[in-house]
Amino acid sequence: MDSPSRSGVFEASTDARLESFAESISFDRRLFRQDIRGSIAHADMLRTVGLISDKDFTAIRDTLKQIESEFESGAFPIRLELEDVHMHIESALIDRIGDVGRKLHTARSRNDQVSTDARIWIREALDQVDGLLEALQRSFLSRCDGDMDVILPAYTHLQRAQPVLAPHYWLAYIEKFQRDRDRIADCRRRVNQSPLGVAAVAGTTLPIDREQTAAALEFDGVTANSLDTSSDRDFILESAFVLSMIASHLSGWAEEWILWSTVEYNFIKIPQQFCTGSSIMPQKVNPDTLELTRGKSARVMGNLQTLMLLVKNLPLAYNRDLQEDKPPLFDSFDTIIAMLELAIPIVAGSVLQRERIAARIEEGYLDATTLMEWLIKKGMPQRTAHHAVGAIVGAAMAADVPLAELPLETMQQHAPEVDASILDVLGTQNAIAAFTSYGSTAPDQVRDQITAWTKRLAS
């Protein structure tokens, strides 16, 4: 059988190879709920403006509901010649209620229909991702109070740099995921504009009410230009970008914790339910969840590239190329949701290896910058102090001792300002306590941030 989209103009029937090439039902069937919701709102509007009768509307709505439950249960038959989810649903409607069903597509095209469905689907998926990001922020926050006594090395260039409180690390990720949530909120505003009623490309001569369908479908407004709307996939690309940023944050975190769980670092133990073993090496407990989080982030970023390339050469307005937007879109959401669902318990349940961390925290001269700033406070120019402390660190390295154990006289050779009170800022504990600036790892600052985030995530 030919697709109902082939009108009387066709004299030849579809080549079977085109059928399987052009179908999208295999992936866009997951839009069935949104499609049916959109169709009911559209039919209700057709009734309001007098294009169909009350009786027609009731028959359309009830039959669509029936079709929906058949989709839910998996009983709905798929036929490739019906191309996509829209034609499957409409054809079933016509099979069941005949001419009344033939009225549903009045003043509508699959072009505005698919955009409507996708926007409703995306806004729901964005809300789900936002909820998971919030749960992940809570996971990081849940660690903060208990980890206040742990000092970690902060790295730059993956070389030990300065000491920080462990919660300063957790709060850093809370900030990153908050920016992701802010991007979701911003992106959602543009997703949530109703395209329904732009029809194919130029609008319609029929007396439709776009505001009514927009309100019924909980859109914030209606799009203003039918040509733009028919061609617009910005909302899909933006979503794919937002997800790529989340993927990037998760991948960086995963990489860090993979390193932290090595024998070489030994900072953290990942809960065993999220690790796997080796088929040959009995001692192995591998952080596969984190490795796959890092690995799958590539898919999410690749999907963004696919979508960018898909749209870049399209003249206005709808082109069938756009059907190819859905596999990468769905894949990005599925992947990010799966990654977040695993990150949440891993972050909450991983165990800091406090003794191991503490045993090596005085290695690497994390307090060198604090010593330099102590000299600056004594009046030494920064460049001079930087040079002098470099020489002091060199002497400590040669003696293989931390700065706090270097004799005062050795320090004084390079910086005569040094006196016994220098010991108040040396060693990572003292160095941490010496911080004062806003946003720093100073204990008061970190506590303030924990309080602020506790309030923010509670509301």
Q: For residue 184, give the nearest of 233, 129, 112 by alpha carbon.
A: 129
Question: According to the binding rule CB under 6 A, does residue 162 interact with ligand ARG?
Answer: no
**Beta bridge partner(s), residue 268:** 352
Which range binds ligand ARG by CB under 6 A, 62-70, 256-264, 314-322, 348-356?
314-322
Q: Which is nearer to ligand ARG, 200 or 292 (CB)?
A: 200
Tokens representing 364 are: 């690497």
How far apart are alpha carbons 314 and 282 in whole angstroms? Answer: 55
Which residue lies nearer to ligand ARG by CB, 111 or 239?
111
Q: Nearer Cβ to ligand ARG, position 261 or 323? A: 323
Nearer to ligand ARG, 84 or 180 (CB): 84
How many other β-carbons are positioned within 10 Å of the β-carbon of residue 312? 7
Contact, 76 vs 92, CB < 8 A?
A: yes
- Residue closer to ligand ARG (CB basis): 87 or 133: 87
Stretch that binds ligand ARG, among 72-80, 229-237, 317-325, 426-434 (CB under 6 A): 317-325
For ligand ARG, the closer CB: 50 or 315:
315
The residues in 385-414 that bind ligand ARG, with binding defined as CB under 6 A, are: none
90 vs 362, which CB is nearer to ligand ARG? 90
| Residue 24, number of CB atoms within 10 A of its CB | 19
Closest distance to ligand ARG from the beta carbon of 339 (Å): 26
| Segment (H or E) for 164 | strand 159-165
Q: How many other C-beta atoms can be found within 10 angstroms of the C-beta atom of residue 255?
A: 15
CA-to-CA distance for 122 and 418, rounded, in angstroms?
62
Helix (H) / strand (E) element for 194: namely strand 193-194
Pair 400, 411: CB distance under 8 Å: no
Residue span binding ligand ARG (CB under 6 A) among the ranges 152-160, 320-328, 372-380, 394-402:
320-328
Q: Taking CB under 6 A as the rule, does residue 320 contact ligand ARG?
A: yes
Cβ atoms 158, 82 nearer than 8 A: no
Q: Examine residue 315 and tell whether it contacts ligand ARG (CB under 6 A).
A: no
Q: How far is CA 205 from the centre of its chain?
A: 41
b/e 187-213 (16+ beta carbons within 10 angstroms → b): bbeebbbbbbbbbebebbeeebebebb
Compute how many residues bind ligand ARG; rule: CB under 6 A.
10
Report the residue number, 49 or 201, with the smaller CB distance to ligand ARG.
201
Please, what is the minimum distance in Å from the beta carbon of residue 79 to ligand ARG? Answer: 14
Nearest approach in angstroms of CB 69 to ligand ARG is: 23
What is the closest distance, in whole angstroms, from the C-beta atom of residue 197 to ligand ARG in the complex? 16
Q: Binding to ligand ARG by residue 199, rule CB under 6 A?
A: no
322 near ligand ARG, rule: CB under 6 A: yes
Minimum distance of ligand ARG from residue 64's CB (angstroms)? 18
Contact between 91 and ligand ARG by CB under 6 A: the answer reads no
- Residue 148 near residue 65, CB atoms below 8 Å: no
- DSSP calls for 216-243: HTT-SEE-S-HHHHHH--HHHHHHHHHH
Residue 157 appears among annotated catalytic residues:
yes
Give me the least distance between CB of 359 and ligand ARG, in Å please.
59
Is 323 one of the binding residues for ligand ARG (CB under 6 A)? yes
The answer to whether 43 and 35 have CB atoms below 8 angstroms apart is no
What is the distance between the alpha carbons of residues 372 and 394, in angstroms, rounded to a whole number? Answer: 14
Strand partners, 152: 164
Stretch that binds ligand ARG, among 47-55, 70-78, 319-327, 354-362 (CB under 6 A): 319-327
- 96-155 residues in contact with ligand ARG (CB under 6 A) are 110-111, 114
The one catalytic residue among 20, 26, 69, 278: 278
d(CA 87, CA 159): 59
For the bound state, the minimum distance from the C-beta of residue 96 to ligand ARG, rounded and expressed in Å, comes to 22
Residue 84 is a binding residue for ligand ARG (CB under 6 A):
yes
**Catalytic entry in 7, 73, 157, 421:** 157
Q: Which residues are catalytic?
A: 157, 278
Footprint of ligand ARG on this chain (CB under 6 A)?
Answer: 24, 28, 84, 110-111, 114, 318, 320, 322-323
